[in-house]
Amino acid sequence: MTIVTTDLDPWQPGGSGTPLLRVRDLSVSFRTEGGRVCAVDDVSFEARAGELLAVVGESGCGKSVMAMALSGLLPRNASVTGSVELAGQQLVGASPGDLRRVRGSRIAYIFQEPMTSLNPVFTVGRQVAEVLRVHEGMDRRRANDRAAELLDLVGIANPRERLKQYPHQLSGGLRQRVMIAMAVAGSPEVLVADEPTTALDVTVQAGILDVLRDLRDRLGAAVVLITHDLGVVADIADRVMVMYAGRLVERADIQELFARPRHHYTVGLLGAVPTARSDGAAQRLREIPGLVPVIEGPEPRCTFAERCPAADETCRTRQPPLEIAPQSSHEAACWHPAGLSGAATGADQDRGAP
Amino acid sequence: MTVTEIDTDLDPGREAGRPRGGRLFRRLRRSPLAMTGFVVLTLAVLAAVLAPVLAPYSPDHADFSAVFQPPGSPGHLLGTDSLGRDILSRILFGARASLLVGVLSVLLALVVGVPLGLVAGYVSALDAVVSRLTDVVLAFPFLILAVGLAAIRGASLSNAALAIGISQIPGIIRVTRSETLRLKSLDYVAAAVAEGATDLWVVVRHILPNATSVLIVQATVAIPGAILGEAVLSFLGLGIQPPSPSLGTMLSEAQDSISRAPWTAVMPGIAIMVLTLAFNLFGDGLRDALDPRGSRR
Amino acid sequence: MRRYLLRRLGQSAVTLVLSTMVVFAGVRALPGDPARALAGEQNNPAQVAAIRAKYGLDDPVPVQYWHYLTHSLRGDLGTSVRTGIPVSDMLRSALPVTAELSLLALVVATVIGVLAGVVAATRRGTVAEWVANGFALLGLSVPNFWLGLMTILWLAVGLELLPASGYVPFRESPGQNLQHMILPALVLGTQLAAVIMRQTRSSMLDALETDYIRTARAKGLRERTVVWVHGLRNSLIVVVTIVGLQLGALISGAVVTERIFALPGFGKLTIDAVFQRDYPVIQAVVLVTATAYIVINLLVDLLYSLIDPRIRVSGEAT
């Protein structure tokens, strides 16, 4: 275990959160048979060392595409603009060779489906060791030894035996732990976990989240957790970004966001989470009516307008900028933020007033 | 592991549905290769059907004063063979025989294979039985089958068609079976069963009509194989017997004169190639158009 | 794994027994009196009666089948009515030629087919893809015996690069043997290469869309490794199956190819036997082919289970 920390020395954060990943004006669009589809629209953010940043939104809101775009993993019909800087190195437009050296060693991914994300025809040991051999130049034996340590690190018992097994012989939870071991094998500075617990049982989920939390603390990596599950976010995130239809609509520290959501989409999302209220009464599970729209290009409006209870003419004609609320670091892109001018806009959110 | 299980394209539950009717044709029209195949095919079928009208000579008309005329000779567009017979005329009549054998053998395979495939896919208890039968048929490659049939019944066009048809049966069974499995798992079929429809009714009314498009593709893909098979058998003397014109026998006869008159071997070969290529192009287009994942290939 | 093996062995055994029954029934369906047929030209009544007794043709059908089976198992496949040589001896000298030809063709076809298939799947929209696709379409549409004739015409007769026909045993001169075999092997392998290419391309396209390929890329592997190790290993599973399925076509093709290149193999034996009405030879040929087909397919399936750990380890054959 000590090995992991020593390997990371150059990036060990000195307690303060240095921004490791700086994303500026990132946009992604796809050429499809039906024309252009804009999946990520002008997203900017930073992720700091030792921090767990959650990206939240319904499926189809562009969060996975954004994650893949960070290291150029999108298919060829995607066009990516903007800037992604990893500790000063520009990744948008970087050569395939440079990107390859970054992937797995400096940005690593954990994907949603541990069932299909591991290659069925190779042992898990080989798949973990592969990262070490490619990025650390280890020989077969050393890579294998290290892979066993990594399995141990992510809480897999009998790592030596597990190494020799194939993915189909492992349970979903174990497979996801293997995925995590593979991701941390290269001691990455940024760990992107794309819905890591969605495909798993609730009981298994907690274990995986523990591993992620533990790794964040131990590795000092910036963990970007992508999820639609606010329960997971509440559990482990430091900061939260809310995305809707490819745009960043709200960003705040975790307590702040849960206490005072400002964008009506966030309010809706929170309303859709089954949480227990302080008075003990189970909260009614609500859904936001409507679907995430498909954006074809720059649209001068709030994309949430047609589903928003507070929307007016302004919302339908002008795009709200991401603005910081006074005396806080809480940002939201909304003309009529909840909580502040909630009464004035007529937004009746039963969750707004405790 | 039997052969029936590798058809990844027809994985049940993987897709919403196959395009049909107008949408199918529109997709087909978007593919220039498939349309080329279709046009060539139509022309070839017309030429074969109208062979008696189109052919400048009788296919058996020998002219010993004009043997081995090269292509482009007056009156002989594609030249003549060792007996002075007009190669164009023989090709037209030969294509007729090829198409006949191709269609007959695939029809035979459909008549036997479709019911067996339906049974294998619908009645799981009989699946193993059908699959053993399929394995037995597969154990006799079509040429060996043709050899055996020729030994028992003598070489002829009908035996060639029989041998080819039998060897096409496993493929038809396999496709029908997996399509039946796929359709059986769909909700509306399950609903029909739940409403008390008899098995026969479900198979005839719900499964068979929906399986036709896939079967048409399979048949389209099987015909060029059958045409090649006929050519091989006739070439070896196990199929159509000379002097009846057949593309295979023409090639067989050309073997002796190949260095002296290459066109006697080149022309019939090109004819076979054009015929099978047209079928393959059209079949590919049809398959792609039918692929619910869209025309990615 | 053991359960899968046993089941697979059982299936093959059933298929084999059924196949021998088919051959046996075919022999009984031969025109005329089988005893007369076996006696060949010298069919005087005494001889026919002797043969009848010798082969037990007066016995009940199941007994006859049993005799047939046990004789075949002992390698006693009868005697050629034309040459008087035991059929098993004729097979022994012909089989190596065909085996070599088929094996060479298989290797050629697999190498070309897999390479072209991967190229077509990974270089989409390039000239290379079009060339590979066009090659496959032509390979499927060209009758291989015609291709054989044409290659003889150009390469062997026209350019005198390679011998047009004939055979030199490998043991006598490996070099000359290969010179004689390479052209037939290429001709025989063309169609198979086309089939393998299309299957490789299609399964490679499927594989490249999978999550584990995304994982492999996210790990920072070279694109070469992603395609040729992670993608191909999965595609090969399907390719192996295709080779098994194409075995029949390969055997049929070998017969014609040998005929064109005048190779003294199994095919020549077969065709000669048909025209000489050498029934014992035909019967043996059919039986041996079916047996070989079933045994080789069994081996292919075992190979399949070696490549695919999902079957190897747990026997979870779907």
pLDDT-above-90 percentage for chain A: 30
- Set of chain C residues whose Cβ sits within 8 Å of the Cβ of A73: 214, 217-218
Sheet-wide strand order for A19-32: A35-48, A19-32, A78-86, A89-90
Q: Confidence class of residue B11 from pLDDT cuts 50, 70 and 90?
A: very low
A323-324 and A331-332 beta bridge pairing:
antiparallel
Whether C217 contacts chain A with CB within 8 A: yes
Q: C203 — contact with chain B (CB < 8 Å)?
A: yes
Indicate yes or no: CB of C150 within 8 angstroms of CB of B6. no
**Given an 8 Å threshold on Cβ–Cβ distance, is C314 in contact with A117?**
no
Is the pLDDT score of C184 beyond 80?
Answer: yes
Chain B closest CA to C8's CA: distance in Å?
Answer: 7
Chain A residues whose beta carbon lies within 8 Å of the beta carbon of residue C239? none
What are the strands, taking DSSP E only, across A156-312?
Answer: 190-194, 222-227, 239-244, 247-253
User: C202 and B296: CB-CB below 8 Å?
Assistant: no
What is chain B's mean pLDDT, rounded? 82
Which of C4, C5, C6, C15 best probes binding to B when mutated, by most B CB atoms within 10 angstroms? C15
A210, A193, A231, A7: which is closest to A113 by C-alpha? A193
Residue A175's closest CA among B237, C129, C153, C215? C215
- What is the rounded CA–CA span in Å between residue A131 and residue A137? 9
- Give the residues across from A90 on adjacent strands: A85
Answer whether B237 sits within 8 Å of C275, measured CB to CB: yes
Which amino acid is located at B233 in the chain?
L
pLDDT tens readout for residues C99-145: 999 999 999 999 999 999 999 999 888 898 899 988 888 888 888 88
Mean pLDDT over C206-220 rounds to 90
Of A101, A116, A182, the CB nearest to C210: A116
- C149, B231: Cβ pair inside 8 Å? no
Q: Of A103, A119, A123, which has the smallest distance from its Cβ to C218's Cβ? A: A103
Interface of C with B in 169-188 (CB under 8 A): none
Inter-chain CB proximity B272 and C146 less than 8 Å: yes
Q: What pLDDT sits at residue B285?
A: 86
Q: Which of B143, B237, B273 sits opposite C142 (nearest CB)?
A: B273
Cα–Cα separations (whole angstroms), residue C67 to A84, C21, C290: 80, 12, 19
Chain C residues touching B142 at Cβ < 8 A: 248, 252
Q: Which residue has the higher pLDDT, A88 or A285?
A: A88
For the stretch B149-188, pLDDT in tens is 888 888 888 889 999 999 999 999 999 998 898 888 888 7
pLDDT of A13 > 50? The answer is: no
* pLDDT tens digits along A95-142: 989 999 999 899 999 988 878 899 988 999 999 999 999 998 889 999
pLDDT interval class at A285 (50, 70, 90): very low
CA distance C14 to chain B (A): 8
Q: What is the ipTM of this complex?
A: 0.82
Compute the distance between CA of residue B30 and CA of residue B45 in angstroms, rounded to an integer: 23
Say what the pTM is. 0.81
Average pLDDT over residues C225-239: 87
Within an 8 Å CB–CB cutoff, is residue A272 touching chain C?
Answer: no
pLDDT at B32 over 90: no
- List the one residue out of C11, C40, C14, C94 whose CA is nearest residue C289: C94
Residue A189's closest CA among A79, A50, A335?
A: A50
Chain A contact for C221 (CB, 8 A cutoff): yes
| Chain B residues in contact with C290 (beta carbon < 8 A) | 139-140, 144
Residue in C closest to A191 by C-alpha: C218
C88 touches chain B (CB under 8 A): no
Contact B147 C285 (CB under 8 A): yes
Is residue A293 scored above 80 in pLDDT?
no
Confidence of residue B106 (pLDDT cuts 50, 70, 90): very high
Q: Which residues in chain B (235-274) have CB-CB distances under 8 A to chain C?
A: 235-238, 251, 254-255, 258-259, 262, 265-266, 268-269, 272-273
C308 interface with A at CB cutoff 8 Å: yes
Mean pLDDT comparison of C76-90, C154-168, C201-215, highest-scoring range = C201-215
Tell me whether C196 touches chain B (CB under 8 Å): no
Determine, for residues B139 and C15 on separate chains, whether the beta-carbon distance falls below 8 Å.
yes
94-113 in A: which are within 8 Å (CB) of C? 96, 100-105, 108-109, 111, 113
Residue type at A97 in one-letter notation: G
3-state DSSP call for residue A108?
A: strand
Residue of A nearest to C208 (CA): A75
In chain B, which residues have their Cβ closer than 8 Å to the Cβ of C140? 224, 276, 280
Find the closest chain A residue to C219 by CA distance: A104
In this predicted structure, what is the pLDDT of residue A297?
65
Question: CB of C118 within 8 Å of any CB in chain B?
Answer: no
Across chain A, what does the average pLDDT equal? 81
Q: Report the range of poorest mean pLDDT among A41-55, C29-43, C117-131.
A: C29-43
pLDDT band at C41; cut points 50, 70, 90 = low
For the segment A1-30, the average pLDDT, to the nearest whole number, is 61
Per-residue pLDDT of A151-177, as tens digits, reads 998 889 999 999 999 998 998 889 999
Measured between CA atoms, the residue of chain A closest to residue C231 is: A119
Select from C150, C256, C279 the Cβ nearest to the Cβ of B269.
C150
Segment 162-191 of chain B within 8 Å of chain C by CB: 167
DSSP helix/strand/coil, B93? helix
Closest chain C residue to B233, measured at CA: C256
* Cβ separation A121–C237 shorter than 8 A: yes
- Touching subunits of C (3+ CB pairs, under 8 Å) are A, B
CB contact under 8 A, B228 and C259: no
CB C48 within 8 A of CB C33: yes
Q: Which residues, 6 or more positions from A97, have their beta carbon under 8 angstroms from its beta carbon?
A: none
Average pLDDT, chain C: 83
DSSP annotation string for C36-55: HHHHTT---HHHHHHHHHHT
Q: Is C271 on the interface with B (CB under 8 A)?
A: yes
Tokens read off for C77: 């496949």
Q: Is there a contact between C223 and A96 if contact means CB atoms under 8 Å apart?
A: yes
State chain B's maximal CA–CA distance in angstroms. 77
C316 touches chain A (CB under 8 A): yes
Whether C205 and C123 have beta carbons less than 8 Å apart is answered as no
Residue B5 has pLDDT above 90, yes or no: no
The answer, for C306 touching chain A at a CB cutoff of 8 Å, is no
Distance CA B91, CA B105 (A): 21
Beta bridge partners of A224: A53, A192
Predicted pLDDT at C189: 92
Polymer length of chain C: 318
